[in-house]
Chain A
Amino acid sequence: MRIVCPFCGERELGEFTYLGDAKPVRPAAGASEDEVFDYVYLRDNVAGETSEHWYHGGGCRAWLKIARNTLTHEISSVEPAAGVGAAKVGA
């Protein structure tokens, strides 16, 4: 697999680490145990197009949100996580 890092360009799979489904959002402070349980444990586990967190740890150390097809491994989009490039926020 090759991933086009939005910062580094196309790189090989070995530079990246997979975390998992990017759809679940961490509940806000004070959320119920049930909500957090859902976030931590339950997965859609989609066979097809899915959105995932990957880490370019072997490169620029950016966390990325990647749309990828789990049936074909084809990647349709790669974008930085919300907090990457924060230096240009509001600029």
Chain B
Amino acid sequence: MAEFSWVSRSPLQHALVAGAYGARDVEPGVSLTEVRNFELIQIMARRGRWADLASAAKTRFGVAAPDVPKAIQSPDAALIWSGPDQFLVLSKGGKHTFAPLSQAFSQSASLSDQSHARALIGVSGAKARTMLAKLSSIDLHPTVFPIGAAAATSIDHTSVNLWRGNDRPDGQAVFNLLVFATFAESLWHTILDAAAEYGVSIAYAEELA
């Protein structure tokens, strides 16, 4: 009996065409990067167990669990606040998959695997903020939304997690967007429409930014 192949397919696989998009006569003002094949685990503290959870998180990740809207970078994961008593663990390469994390937090939290529930898009470039202002009602001014700031918010009436990663080497800010997988293609087109006038460069990556 033939084994079946289980090819993972990103929700943006159909829509994402790497290369240039929109205005061509300008240096691309927006760069969009999809990161594929990540692990994303939602951790929700149980009743009265935040302290236990925080200590388990410290042990596991070496950083404090976020309990305000921040994304905290550990050596091999990003802990992204996603609501009261809960955060997301984003990692790559099987470092923090569902089963071991379930073990680690079995006493203090309820976990749901969201690895396949989202698409991850990085937005940067000189016009990134200008473009995002068309989509997001959040104030992304550097003084208000510094590196590590995170928000559970909505774009196009659809829930997203938005956080600011480390700046690019050229100093440009990087905004990360986790969007729901079934909305991803639609949102992608919305993002492209918003960005087209600034010129867009599109790529995908296997590694987290």
Question: What is the interface of chain A, defined by CB distance below 8 A to chain B?
Answer: 7-9, 11-12, 14-15, 57-62, 80, 84-91
Least distance between B139 CB and chain A CB atoms (Å): 9
Least distance between A9 CB and chain B CB atoms (Å): 7
Q: Is B151 an interface residue when CB atoms closer than 8 A count as contact?
A: yes
Least distance between A87 CB and chain B CB atoms (Å): 3
Bound-state CA distance A23–B135 (Å) is: 36
A85 in contact with B85 given A58-B153, A59-B152 (CB within 8 Å): yes
Q: Is the Cβ of A59 less than 8 Å from the Cβ of B84?
A: no
Show 6 residue pairs from A and B whose CB-CB distance is below 8 angstroms, ordered by the A residue.
A8-B69, A11-B138, A11-B153, A15-B154, A87-B85, A88-B85
Find the residue from B53, B69, B84 having the highest chain A CB count within 10 A. B84
Q: Is the Cβ of B83 less than 8 Å from the Cβ of A61?
A: yes
- Report which of A7, A12, A57, A90 forms a contact with B48, defined as CB distance below 8 A: A90
Least distance between A62 CB and chain B CB atoms (Å): 6
A87 in contact with B69 given A7-B84, A14-B157, A60-B82 (CB within 8 Å): no
Q: Is the Cβ of A89 less than 8 Å from the Cβ of B47?
A: yes
- Report which of B47, B48, B49, B84 forms a contact with A60, defined as CB distance below 8 A: B84
For chain B, the bracket of interface size reads 20 to 34
Bound-state CA distance A57–B138 (Å) is: 15
The binding surface of chain A is classed by DSSP as: loop
Q: Is the Cβ of B137 less than 8 Å from the Cβ of A60?
A: no
Q: Is the Cβ of A87 less than 8 Å from the Cβ of B46?
A: yes
Q: Is B159 an interface residue when CB atoms closer than 8 A count as contact?
A: yes
Bound-state CA distance A59–B51 (Å) is: 24
Which residues on the B side are within 8 Å of A61 (C-beta)?
83, 152
Which residues on the A side are within 8 Å of B48 (C-beta)?
86-91
Bound-state CA distance A11–B138 (Å) is: 7
> B158's closest neighbor in chain A, by CB?
A58
Bound-state CA distance A9–B149 (Å) is: 12
New contact pairs (9) apart from A7-B68, A8-B153, A87-B48, CB-CB < 8 Å? A14-B154, A58-B154, A62-B84, A85-B84, A85-B85, A87-B47, A87-B84, A90-B48, A91-B48
Q: Is the Cβ of A87 less than 8 Å from the Cβ of B83?
A: no
Least distance between A88 CB and chain B CB atoms (Å): 5
> A80's closest neighbor in chain B, by CB?
B84
Least distance between A65 CB and chain B CB atoms (Å): 14
Bound-state CA distance A73–B50 (Å) is: 35
Which residues on the A side are within 8 Å of B152 (C-beta)?
8, 59-61
Bound-state CA distance A57–B49 (Å) is: 24
